[in-house]
Structure 1
Amino acid sequence: MITTAELCKGLGISRTRLDQWVSRGFLKPMHTPAPGVGRTWDLPDAMRAAITHRLFSHGIKLTAWGNSSDEKLLASKLAHLKGFKNDAAILALYSEFAGGPIRKGTMRPSEVAAFIMDHKLDFLLLINLDQLEDELVEKFPALA
Structure 2
Amino acid sequence: SIKLNMAGITQTASVSGLITQDQDGYATGQLSAMSVDSTGNLFATYTNGKSQVIGQTSLTNFANVQGLAQAGGTNWRETFASGVPVSGTPQSGTLGSITGQALEESNVDLTMELVNLIKAQSNYQANAKTISTQSTIMQTTIQMT
Superposition TM-score, scaled by structure 2 size: 0.16
Of structures 1 and 2, the one with the larger relative CO (CA 8 A, separation 6+) is 1
Superposition TM-score, scaled by structure 1 size: 0.16
Structure having the larger proportion of residues in helix: 1
Larger Rg: 2
